[in-house]
Structure 1
Amino acid sequence: MKRWLFTTVAALALVGLAQQAPGAHPGRLVVADAKDGSLKVLDLETAQVVGTFSTPGPANVYPVTGTPYVFAVHREANRVSVVYSGLRLEDHGDHKDLLLEKPYVFATLNTGPKPTHYFNHGHHVAIFNDGDGTVAVFDTRKLGVVADFRDYATGAPDHGAPVVMGDALLSGSLNRGVVEVYTLAGRKVLEFPGCPRLHGEAVAGNTAAFGCDDGVLLLERRGNGFAARKLAEPAGSPANARVGTLVAHEAHPFFIGNFGQGLARLDARFTPYPLPANPVRFAFSADGRYLVVLTADGHLHVLEPADGRVLRSLGVVGPVAAGGEGAVRPSLAVGTGHAYVADPQKGVVLEVELANLQVRRSFEVGGTPGSLALVRLEGVRH
């Protein structure tokens, strides 16, 4: 009897520990080759490629927040692929188990001609199709069951920037310099002009931001509508500086955008963050603690998000040439404690620890790695 009691108590203690300790699996990295269009899934625990897939063509890859899926957007092939990373959470009521499975391509879709800008927020993914001006909107809760989407027509081909906020679709237009607001039933309800050469979008809280040639357009959700506010560039800004890419994180009440040879914090004011060279890629760490920037001189920088102070810098790749026909630029994916930099010239992906900015591992993936997407899920591992 005593032996049975000891075994039972020990088992219960182990279950309790398993439930309290989150899975330590570092995640999987989807690597898109910029030349042959292949996709590789790299397991960051074993450092092994656990899946390789041929696709319709070269792609930019993007993780879907809170899911095991990655979208691969093949602009020139007019296709979108949905890739299952092989990480799966199994619900057990008071905890979720993390299971490791074989990755696969869940679906390859025709969302429209020239799919380009990708946006993910909440339970939606939106992809703007430059070729006809339509926006494809997915409900991410359905991924793994179906890969259907709804089309929204904006009227004309363009280079667009889509945002989904709750029950509203905001569609920004580069050529027309406007943001149009649609209900998810497809009815156009509002239009906001005054954003010339609109490019780039992000959401922070109840506000959406769009980059303009002369500043940033902010649309704040108020009840069933939106209120617009324009942040103008500071006086004396360089003529060729503009915000064209935006990022945000729920831990911070502001946006970060590129701006000439540096970045800018965007909230009630437009505050430039100077850098040693032009930013090529930038992102928040997954926990929002750091702002991580890859600059054109090949250096990786860790910044304090609130004030732009450069905390650490490290050379990781060679100087990045200006974009041109066939040029492949290094890519960046950022987790909580590590950043991953793809070097297309050497066919490697570097793992850089953010706390001390040291290269911890180098993964020989071969080919021309051109885009990265990191998938990591928290769960119990038995």
Structure 2
Amino acid sequence: MPRTVLPRTVLRKRAALPAMVALGLALTACGQDAPGPAAQEDNEVKVKAPLVATYDGGLYVLDSQTLKVVETIPLPGFNRINAAGNGRHVLISTATGFRVMDAAGARLTDDEFAAPKPGHVVNHAGKTVLFSDGTGKVTFFDPRDLGTGLPETVTHTTEHAHHGVAIELSNGELVLTLGDEEKRPGIQVLGKDRKEITRNEDCPGVHGEATAQGEAVIIGCETGALVYRNGAITKVKAPDPYGRIGNQAGHEESPIVLGDYKTDPDAELERPERVSLIDSRTGGLKLVDLGTSYTFRSLGRGPHGEALVLGTDGAVHVIDPATAKVTKKIKVMGEWREPIEWQQARPALYVRDHTAYVTEPATRKLHAVDIETGKVKGTAQLPQAPNELTGA
């Protein structure tokens, strides 16, 4: 489908509306105009390196250096957050779209990208890509243009609405999932002209994405994963008949992507103890047994490409992707157990540079961990239990 450029007047602006709890059930385990970026930097920066955490009924904006709460922003309902990709803004999934927060300015704007059932947000190659699960519409924009209203966008709509994801590569190619409300069988790759280059439908339950060194794209399946690299799609087969990889974490300096790994299709809630490492160059897959379970908010990458997993044993497990060996265990908190309902708060891992930030909802704490020294360098007590965590 050809690209369509939408003028700013077509994009929706709205008064503040609360996010609805019903949004969380639909998602699967995603005032005045703000002044322009220059004016914001000069006059309205409240925190230079912000973190944003959700709690039941609102959001905290924190200083990542001091871990102090700079601002508390009430926003009823179950809220999901993603970095906008420009070092300043965060996108909040509401009942009707992706709401823009000026995290550095510690304020919630009225700007919103309209999107029924807002899903995945992907930042890559200077573009931010939004996927609407309710319509299958993919929205692209330059995150540097956020600041005065909404930026101009380019859109593409998939054949059927589904819980999907899309990523635009530096050469303009678009990798996106295939599916409808009944099934999600694989991916397709479209050229800059949005004509299909290739596709693969040997990926049941397709979910999640990550990029690796050399701009390889890895998409998870219930039977392994798909790797798109240099114009070709390779299927990575799981060693089990059902080997689901649905959440991935990549690093631009590593050809290997970290993923989760589940083997029980009938479990109400599987608590896996193995993670996957996918080599985008060879299509090889290795499993690492951690000896403890983890959740979909447990995966991250260190400053040198280390694979990081926050376990229910209360430790951050540091894995060397090249050897598939655990090289370090950093004890952060006590043991914990994943709740049945995915919307319920559980510890989350967010990595910025050499620091891993870890939430501990049971004690309402936020910890800052030095990845290289293995020491907890700071802990903050929060008013309410944190749930999701991200940074600008």
TM-score if structure 1 supplies the norm length? 0.77
Higher strand share: 1
**Which has the higher Rg, Structure 1 or Structure 2?**
1
Q: Could you list the per-position Cα deviations for residues 293-314 of structure 1 after superposition, in whole angstroms to 9, with x for gaps in the alignment?
A: 1123333222223223222221
Aligned equivalents of 1:315, 1:364: Cα separation in 2? 14
Aligned equivalents of 1:218, 1:144: Cα separation in 2? 35
| Counterpart for residue 344 of structure 1 | 361
| Counterpart for residue 306 of structure 2 | 290
Aligned equivalents of 1:210, 1:201: Cα separation in 2? 5
| Counterpart for residue 12 of structure 2 | none
User: CA, structure 1 residues 183+366, in 2 after alignment: closer, same or farther (shift >3 Å)?
Assistant: farther
Q: Could you list the per-position Cα deviations for residues 228-252 of structure 1 after superposition, in whole angstroms to 9, with x for gaps in the alignment?
A: 1111113xx3x55321111211111
| Counterpart for residue 82 of structure 1 | 100
Aligned equivalents of 2:75, 2:125: Cα separation in 1? 27
Q: Deviation at 1:275?
A: 1.0
Matches within 5 A, 1:93-104: 102-104=105-107
Aligned equivalents of 2:186, 2:238: Cα separation in 1? 18
Gaps of 5+ in 2: 1-46, 263-272
| Counterpart for residue 117 of structure 1 | 120
Aligned equivalents of 2:192, 2:383: Cα separation in 1? 43
User: CA, structure 1 residues 178+50, in 2 after alignment: closer, same or farther (shift >3 Å)?
Assistant: same
Q: Deviation at 1:357?
A: 2.6
| Counterpart for residue 42 of structure 1 | 62
Q: Could you list the per-position Cα deviations for residues 238-284 of structure 1 after superposition, in whole angstroms to 9, with x for gaps in the alignment?
A: x5532111121111122221124222221211111221123321110
| Counterpart for residue 288 of structure 2 | 273
Matches within 5 A, 1:318-357: 318-324=335-341, 326-357=343-374
Q: RMSD over aligned Cα, in angstroms?
A: 2.4
| Counterpart for residue 217 of structure 2 | 208
- Is 1:138–1:147's contact at 8 Å kept on the other side of the alignment? no
Aligned equivalents of 2:361, 2:383: Cα separation in 1? 9
Aligned equivalents of 2:355, 2:336: Cα separation in 1? 22
SS in 1 for 2:387: strand
TM-score if structure 2 supplies the norm length? 0.75
Matches within 5 A, 1:125-274: 125-148=128-151, 149-166=153-170, 167-173=172-178, 175-183=183-191, 190-204=198-212, 205-221=214-230, 226-234=231-239, 237=240, 241-260=243-262, 261-267=273-279, 268=282, 269-274=284-289
- Is 1:317–1:343's contact at 8 Å kept on the other side of the alignment? no
The alignment of Structure 1 onto Structure 2 pairs a total of residues equal to 324
* Percent pairwise identity: 25
| Counterpart for residue 94 of structure 1 | none
Aligned equivalents of 1:328, 1:45: Cα separation in 2? 24
SS in 2 for 1:209: strand
Q: Which amino acid aligns with 1:115?
A: P
| Counterpart for residue 27 of structure 1 | 49
Q: Deviation at 1:32?
A: 1.4
Q: Deviation at 1:326?
A: 4.7
- Is 1:263–1:279's contact at 8 Å kept on the other side of the alignment? no
User: CA, structure 1 residues 289+159, in 2 after alignment: closer, same or farther (shift >3 Å)?
Assistant: closer
User: CA, structure 1 residues 46+266, in 2 after alignment: closer, same or farther (shift >3 Å)?
Assistant: closer
Q: Deviation at 1:30?
A: 1.0
User: CA, structure 1 residues 200+47, in 2 after alignment: closer, same or farther (shift >3 Å)?
Assistant: closer
Aligned equivalents of 2:391, 2:61: Cα separation in 1? 10
Aligned equivalents of 1:241, 1:164: Cα separation in 2? 27
